[in-house]
Amino acid sequence: MLDCGAVSPLPAVRLLQPADVPAAAAVGGASLSDQIPVALQPTTPAERAHLVRRQQARVSHLLATDPEGSWVAEVDGEIVGVALALVRDDIWGLSLFGVRPGLQGQGIGRLLLAAALGYAAGRRGALILSSTDPRAMRSYARAGFAVKPALAAAGAINRARLPAGLRTRAGDVEADRELLDAVSRHVRTAAHGRDLGAFVAAGDRLLVLDGRGFAVSRRGSPILLAAFDDEAATDLLWSCLADGAPGAPVHLDYVTQGNDWAVAVALEAGLSLSPDGPVFVRGETGPFAPYLPSGAYL
Ligand SMILES: CC(C)(COP(=O)(O)OP(=O)(O)OC[C@H]1O[C@@H](n2cnc3c(N)ncnc32)[C@H](O)[C@@H]1OP(=O)(O)O)[C@@H](O)C(=O)NCCC(=O)NCCS
């Protein structure tokens, strides 16, 4: 248990317990809601309920896979902050980090991040997909991470531009395991393992290009994409975009240096580019291309 003197009463940082999942997911969601573009925010009660279920499923999944990387901050018995980290093939990644709006900037995040980073000690490498929050970026840079600037792209695609002859097929997390693990290890030195099953369980679609790569589509947005070569990545990205409903907005996040194939597709599809939060890396994290990492599972 760690204590901090900046907030009164003192926050305590402790490991996440199963009973904390709804509160931890709610704090994580509230802390990040400003970062979600308005066009992508849920609008109906059904969409909001779906988002809450997905946020809780993510927290439960990480509690199951990484109980030692899952931390919360508590004040007066209430959860006010959360930091969830995962380790895959000895690479650490920060999945969720947020403090309740109104309590930010008072030292709670510093304690949480220190606890989550304890789980990174002695690992081969570490990855963080940052928001643009100055407090977050400062914390990661000061923890010894190197920065990779990133772009995002968003909008509704022009379906007339979808190329003919896309070669992807529906994937299967178990049957395609060998390819999936090999591609993830190519781009970031670590397989995604059980995280791919978590996407599928949440309703996302796994797409595979035989021998060359895979992507996860969430209603047309490529929420994870990894390939051995740019041509395969291009096919997979178009396949994700084709998977969305006509006229619905889609987004690509964390397009870093070396992923110009993604910029080319985004522009050809009619999406708009914007600056994104940077990626921070430490140690052996691979070429990071052709790769669009996942905000939840890196
Ligand atoms: C990012 C976040 C989790 C940090 O938690 P926090 O409790 O607000 O942060 P802290 O008060 O511990 O401050 C963290 C660092 O930022 C500094 N800081 C505080 N306010 C700041 C400000 N307005 N501008 C720049 N730096 C600031 C602190 O001094 C501290 O640095 P130090 O440890 O070198 O002194 C929190 O602000 C948050 O929830 N932000 C919105 C969600 C988000 O973007 N999460 C990150 C996802 S990658």
pLDDT per residue as tens digits for the range 1-53? 444 445 777 799 999 999 999 999 999 999 998 777 777 788 899 989 999 99
Whether 107 is covered by a domain: the verdict is: yes
State the residue for tokens 């995280």: 195
**pTM for the full predicted model:** 0.95
Q: How many helices (H) and strands (E) does the chain have?
A: 8, 16
pLDDT digits 0-9 by tens, 59-111 = 999 999 999 999 999 999 999 999 999 999 999 999 999 999 999 999 999 99
pLDDT attached to residue 5: 45
Whether 173 is covered by a domain: the verdict is: yes
Token digits of residue 25: 């997911």
Task: Assign residue 72 the CATH number of its domain.
Answer: 3.40.630.30
Whether 262 is covered by a domain: the verdict is: yes
E-assigned strands of the chain? 2-3, 12-15, 70-75, 78-88, 91-99, 125-129, 146-148, 150-156, 169-170, 205-209, 213-218, 221-227, 249-256, 272-275, 279-283, 291-292
Instruction: Give 263's contacts (C-beta < 8 A, 6+ positions apart).
Output: 151, 153, 255, 273
- The protein residue with its alpha carbon nearest to ligand 1, atom 41, reads 31
Instruction: Give the CA distances from residue 124 to residues 116, 192, 256, in Å, rounded to whole numbers and listed in that order.
Output: 16, 16, 21
Residue 160 and residue 233 in one domain: yes
Instruction: Give 19's contacts (C-beta < 8 A, 6+ positions apart).
Output: none
Residue 129 CA: which ligand 1 atom is closest?
48
Instruction: Give 25's contacts (C-beta < 8 A, 6+ positions apart).
Output: 52, 55, 56, 58, 59, 82
Q: How many domains does the chain have?
A: 2
**Å from CA of 217 to ligand 1 middle:** 31
Neighbour order of strands in the sheet with 169-170 = 169-170, 205-209, 213-218, 221-227, 291-292
Task: Give percent helix, percent strand, percent coil of the chain, each to the nearest 5.
Answer: 35, 30, 35
**Å from CA of 82 to ligand 1 middle:** 13
What residues make up the domain containing 42? 12-123
User: Which of the four pLDDT bands, split at 50, 70 and 90, describes residue 233?
Assistant: very high
- The protein residue with its alpha carbon nearest to ligand 1, atom 45, reads 98
Mean pLDDT for the chain overall: 95
Residue 67 and residue 16 in one domain: yes
Residue 35 and residue 86 in one domain: yes
Whether 6 is covered by a domain: the verdict is: no
**Å from CA of 120 to ligand 1 middle:** 20
Task: Assign residue 286 the CATH number of its domain.
Answer: 3.40.630.90
Whether 241 is covered by a domain: the verdict is: yes
Pocket of ligand 1 (CB under 6 A): 31-32, 35, 97-99, 104-110, 130-131, 133-136, 138-139, 142
SS3 129: strand
